Structure 1
Amino acid sequence: MIGLISATAAGAAARDRLAAAWPDRTRVYDGPVADAVPRAFAECGQLVCFLAAGAVVRLIAPLLGDKRTDPGVVCVDEAGRFAVSLVGGHGGGANELARAVGGLLGAEPVVTTATDAVGVPGLDTLGLPVEGDVAGVTRALLDGEPVALAAEVSWPLPALPLGTRGAYTVRLTDRAVEPAEREVLLRPPSLAVGVGASKGAPAEEVLGLVEAALRDAGLSAASVAELATVDAKSGEPGIVAAAEHLGVPLVTYSAEELAAVEVPNPSGAPLAAVGTPSVAEAAALVRGGELLVPKRKSQRADGRPAMATCAVVRRPGRGRLAVVGLGPGARDLLTPRAEAELRRASVLVGLDQYVDQIRDLLRPGTRILESGLGAEEERARTAVAEARRGAAVALIGSGDAGVYAMASPALAEASDDIDVVGVPGVTAALAAGAILGAPLGHDHVSISLSDLHTPWEVIERRVRAAAEADLVVTFYNPRSRGRDWQLPKALAILAEHREPATPVGVVRNASRADESSRVTTLSALDPATVDMMTVVTVGNTATRRIAGRMVTPRGYRWQQDPGTAPQEEARTVPHARTQEEPQEEPGTAPLEETQEVPQRDPQEGAR
């Protein structure tokens, strides 16, 4: 919960804007600030104080205890010009909160944490438990001193300026070791603990068994990612309590899944009880890995039979592939999620022109693998291969990476041995539509006119179907030097079903400095004025030109039964997509997502 405190009318107005934007995340504290601040400090994980920074410093100074547990505090000045991360920048999340508050209020976020200022990830912000000389190693990173990475296990980390030698060390390990001098230990969640238990097994017996197994194997409990068991034991109190005590999720699998796992120590008892010859070992091994602790039984002081079993597996770190859409080009149309993924990656793969757009957002040490037009399949294979080696990879494409772009070839190459994250972006059709007005207000379809990988017969059939269905049509890859007849042909097909005065929107370089747009008609459009950096949107029979803008009415009627509330109209359908490979025309500027092609078409000619 975020506590909101203000002292003046201006502060209260800004406070109320935050409260309205985050109704489920905020709590307003009224009354004198000398009373409100201590109450909020004790009750909330974060605070936003609409007060002078000096006043907040004096109010919270007696309350500060430990930076690992103190709430993050952000100050917003009376004029709403700045959102200052005051304390708890990393541990309390104040740095991110300052950015979020600044975005909502139009204030400039002020972050003075050294690592954030120079773009180096804080060792305590990597999402992993951290121990040791965090301050000393961080200072060495900031000072440019050599810091070595000792990775005992593979795990996808963001870009860090680490080498193989240095007086300071970052050690990635799941072993139960103490940090040495000038060393930081990062604990990856690499251990899976399988647990079996008889009905009514005490929580202390289950937990004691797990802790003893880890201790005897020299493994750190901080690296346990999950407790795993069979579905039939999902509600077993002792197992549930053990997972809660360790602070990890309880994951369950069906007896059929576990019975299919080959284990070294099967038994008839669990087979008879729950339908699988192994619970502990099978549950730990079901997703693969190295068996570090074979099945082990609990020991009871009174000599009665054991009621719990466990096994421990080290699972290999799964690489991470983020397929990131950069939008149509303008920086303010790059989503915050896309920016976060770029900064999270240790490896960036992309078209050289796209890399240039976002190079300034990458963290120092990010390995960049860039290539030119026509190498899309190679980029997809490279990104997947890097993720399979355990890296955190960002594969970039323009617009939305899932629309005529890099997501398709990458996911066709990827298997289930890596984690894949899709990051949506603003597509060219949407960027152009916003410039034109509201041409996509009703059902619409996007069609690429490039026949590099899609036979023209297929494209023509789709254009004809869209024409007959009276859909608004956005044409991607409308015309190039080597393809100058497809657009006139497509327009002629639409003209068979639409009036000559049907509005047509033409947008070139959407969202860029040299953006241009115009609204014309189906009969007046000169295809020769269109190129590969252009998006052409043809309206349906209901589309109108209103005040110079292109508008397609929603066209739905309110339907209301007696005694019921109005029903919301149907939403606009997603873009239709071809089943062919993404297409990137050689020689085009990186305007939007249709530029991804696996190879150069010899018929396209030089640009």
Structure 2
Amino acid sequence: MIGLFTATAQGKKAAASLSLGPDAVLVDGPVKPALQRLWPSLGTAVFFMGAGAVTRLVAPLLENRRDDPGIVCVHDGFVIALTSAGNVLATEIADTLNITAVPTSDYVGESPLDEIVESLDTAIDGDIAACGAAVLAGDPIRLLNPLGFVLPDMPANLQPDNYGTEWTVLIDDRLPALRPKGKLLRLIPKTLVVGVGSSRGVTQEAVQAAFALLESEHDLDPRAVKSFATIDVKADEAGIQDAVADWGFWHGEDDGCTPPITIHTAAELAAVEVPNPSATVADELGTASVAEAAALLTARELGGRVELAAPKTNSANVTIAAARILPD
């Protein structure tokens, strides 16, 4: 339903001149109570009054981009879309009345994809500007979210069952097993905590080789790492510290930011249940696990629900594991 609201004779004359189809209704009576009564059934509300007055009328009724009607106001030679759902109708009205349309965007960034990046703190792999332009143009986009992250309200043209589209958006901390046809935009949330243990005097090169196994053996994207973790007796290992700094240089987005190293005591790690405990490590350090336990414990401290994304993996004299912070 398209509701046409006006409080003046001039506005009624302009509204009556429009041919917007059988769903358009010129609403009689006071605007505010009529708007409140009809709000649940409105697809678009068109107001023949100033934008300030319209804003005060609709503000208490707005809930979210997905469910709210389009809001358009016609005033002083302009047709202003106050919500992006009203852009198309605003252009149609402007063409009929031979005045100027003013479209809008509801998104904080340049497109709704920017809101995903902000809300999930993602790294970006692909042309987000071009994909965002396709979203705003209304092109069908396939949106894949296999880990079930909670997303901001998205427009209806972003759907998981949109097949054969030019663009696919994949939100995942893993490397894609298969690349879809067409163009791919990957948004990589920082969900992983990497636990690391080593022998005394370990080299930076040995730790780096172990870190590389997260990608080559477990298909985890290195840009998804939020934090590293280890036991306190390994906190001063130069090889671990230098390898983490090097990781940040190569994978830390534009600013080269290095993820922190969270330190735990043996007693804290010993209380964590792990799938691959070691009696040898328990005898030496007082905990049956360093890498798995440190990763799981730190991930819980950062996010609550967790799972082991990469079990204990050995490389020479280094052991690593990765835990994933799951969506709430």
Q: Which structure 2 residues correspond to residues 252-267 of structure 1 after superposition, within 5 A?
A: 252-267=263-278
Q: Report if aligned partners of 1:128, 1:187 keep a CA contact under 8 Å in 2.
A: yes
Provide the residue aligned with 2:200 in structure 1. Answer: 199
Q: Deviation per CA, 1:257-276, whole angstroms, max 9, x where unpaired? A: 11011122222333233321
* 1:283 to 2:275 alignment: no
Q: Deviation per CA, 1:36-83, whole angstroms, max 9, x where unpaired? A: xxxxxxxxxxxxxxxxxxxxxxxxxxxxxxxxxxxxxxxxxxxxxxxx
Provide the residue aligned with 1:443 in structure 2. Answer: none
Identify if the C-alpha distance between structure 1 residues 279 and 139 changes in structure 2 by more than 3 Å, giving closer, same or farther: same
Q: Report the CA distance between 1:212 and its aligned residue.
A: 1.6
Identify if the C-alpha distance between structure 1 residues 245 and 113 changes in structure 2 by more than 3 Å, giving closer, same or farther: farther
Q: Which structure 2 residues correspond to residues 169-208 of structure 1 after superposition, within 5 A?
A: 169-177=168-176, 180=180, 181-208=182-209
Instruction: Tell me the TM-score normalised to structure 2 length.
Output: 0.54
**3-state DSSP class of the match of 2:159?**
coil
Q: Which has the higher contact order (CA 8 A, sep 6+)?
A: 2
Tell me, which stretches of 5 or more residues in structure 2 are unaligned?
A: 1-103, 249-258
Residue among 319, 324, 328 paired with 1:309: 319
Give the letter for the 2:239 counterpart. G
Identify if the C-alpha distance between structure 1 residues 313 and 125 changes in structure 2 by more than 3 Å, giving closer, same or farther: closer
Identify if the C-alpha distance between structure 1 residues 118 and 260 changes in structure 2 by more than 3 Å, giving closer, same or farther: closer
CA distance in 2, matches of 1:264, 1:192: 17
Q: Report if aligned partners of 2:117, 2:123 keep a CA contact under 8 Å in 1.
A: no
Q: Deviation per CA, 1:412-433, whole angstroms, max 9, x where unpaired? A: xxxxxxxxxxxxxxxxxxxxxx
Is the helix fraction higher in 1 or 2?
Answer: 2
Q: Deviation per CA, 1:230-265, whole angstroms, max 9, x where unpaired? A: 122222211112222222211122211110111222
Instruction: Tell me the TM-score normalised to structure 1 length.
Output: 0.31
Q: Quote the RMSD (CA, aligned, Å).
A: 2.7
Provide the residue aligned with 1:233 in structure 2. Answer: 234
Report sequence identity in percent: 35
CA distance in 1, matches of 2:132, 2:204: 40
Q: Report the CA distance between 1:144 and its aligned residue.
A: 1.9
Q: Which structure 2 residues correspond to residues 66-465 of structure 1 after superposition, within 5 A?
A: 120-122=112-114, 125-126=117-118, 127-161=121-155, 162-166=158-162, 167=165, 168-177=167-176, 180=180, 181-247=182-248, 248-286=259-297, 287=300, 289-299=306-316, 307-317=317-327, 390=328
Tell me, which stretches of 5 or more residues in structure 1 are unaligned?
A: 1-111, 300-306, 318-389, 391-607
CA distance in 1, matches of 2:295, 2:322: 6
Between the two proteins, the alignment pairs up a number of residues equal to 200
Identify if the C-alpha distance between structure 1 residues 119 and 308 changes in structure 2 by more than 3 Å, giving closer, same or farther: closer
Q: Deviation per CA, 1:290-324, whole angstroms, max 9, x where unpaired? A: 2233222213xxxxxxx21111222312xxxxxxx
Provide the residue aligned with 1:352 in structure 2. Answer: none
Q: Which structure 2 residues correspond to residues 485-524 of structure 1 after superposition, within 5 A?
A: none
List 4+ stretches of structure 1 deviating above 4 A.
112-119
Provide the residue aligned with 1:591 in structure 2. Answer: none
**3-state DSSP class of the match of 2:194?**
strand
Q: Which structure 2 residues correspond to residues 573-588 of structure 1 after superposition, within 5 A?
A: none
Give the letter for the 2:294 counterpart. A
CA distance in 2, matches of 1:125, 1:280: 29
Q: Report if aligned partners of 1:262, 1:282 keep a CA contact under 8 Å in 2.
A: yes
Identify if the C-alpha distance between structure 1 residues 188 and 119 changes in structure 2 by more than 3 Å, giving closer, same or farther: closer
Q: Report if aligned partners of 2:291, 2:319 keep a CA contact under 8 Å in 1.
A: yes
Q: Report the CA distance between 1:279 and its aligned residue.
A: 0.3
Q: Report if aligned partners of 1:191, 1:315 keep a CA contact under 8 Å in 2.
A: yes
CA distance in 1, matches of 2:306, 2:243: 22
Q: Report the CA distance between 1:119 and its aligned residue.
A: 6.6
Identify if the C-alpha distance between structure 1 residues 206 and 119 changes in structure 2 by more than 3 Å, giving closer, same or farther: closer
Q: Report if aligned partners of 1:169, 1:184 keep a CA contact under 8 Å in 2.
A: yes
**3-state DSSP class of the match of 1:210?**
helix
Q: Deviation per CA, 1:344-393, whole angstroms, max 9, x where unpaired? A: xxxxxxxxxxxxxxxxxxxxxxxxxxxxxxxxxxxxxxxxxxxxxx3xxx
